């Protein structure tokens, strides 16, 4: 695949998907929601990752 998309609902799964994308040098599109708030983030290979933020 050329890109990894994550919408998991727990931190353990999010870290696992992040690590897989990071180690395979693939961009990661990550999204989450909580009630009426949402967040979408794109992590580019060689730059910051999900673990860097959380």
pLDDT in tens, 1-54: 799 999 999 999 999 999 999 999 999 999 999 999 999 999 999 898 998 888
pLDDT at position 53: 85
The pTM score is 0.85
pLDDT at position 23: 96
pLDDT at position 5: 98
Assigned token pair, 11: 């931190």
pLDDT at position 3: 97
Q: How many helices (H) and strands (E) does the chain have?
A: 2, 3
Tell me the β-bridge partners of 9. Answer: none
Domain ranges of the chain: 4-53
pLDDT at position 14: 96
């Amino acid at each position: 695949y050329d890109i990894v998309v994550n919408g998991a609902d727990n931190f353990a799964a999010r870290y696992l998907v992040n690590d897989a994308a990071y180690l395979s040098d693939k961009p990661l599109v990550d999204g989450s929601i909580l009630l009426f708030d949402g967040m979408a983030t794109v992590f580019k290979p060689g730059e910051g990752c999900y673990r860097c933020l959380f």
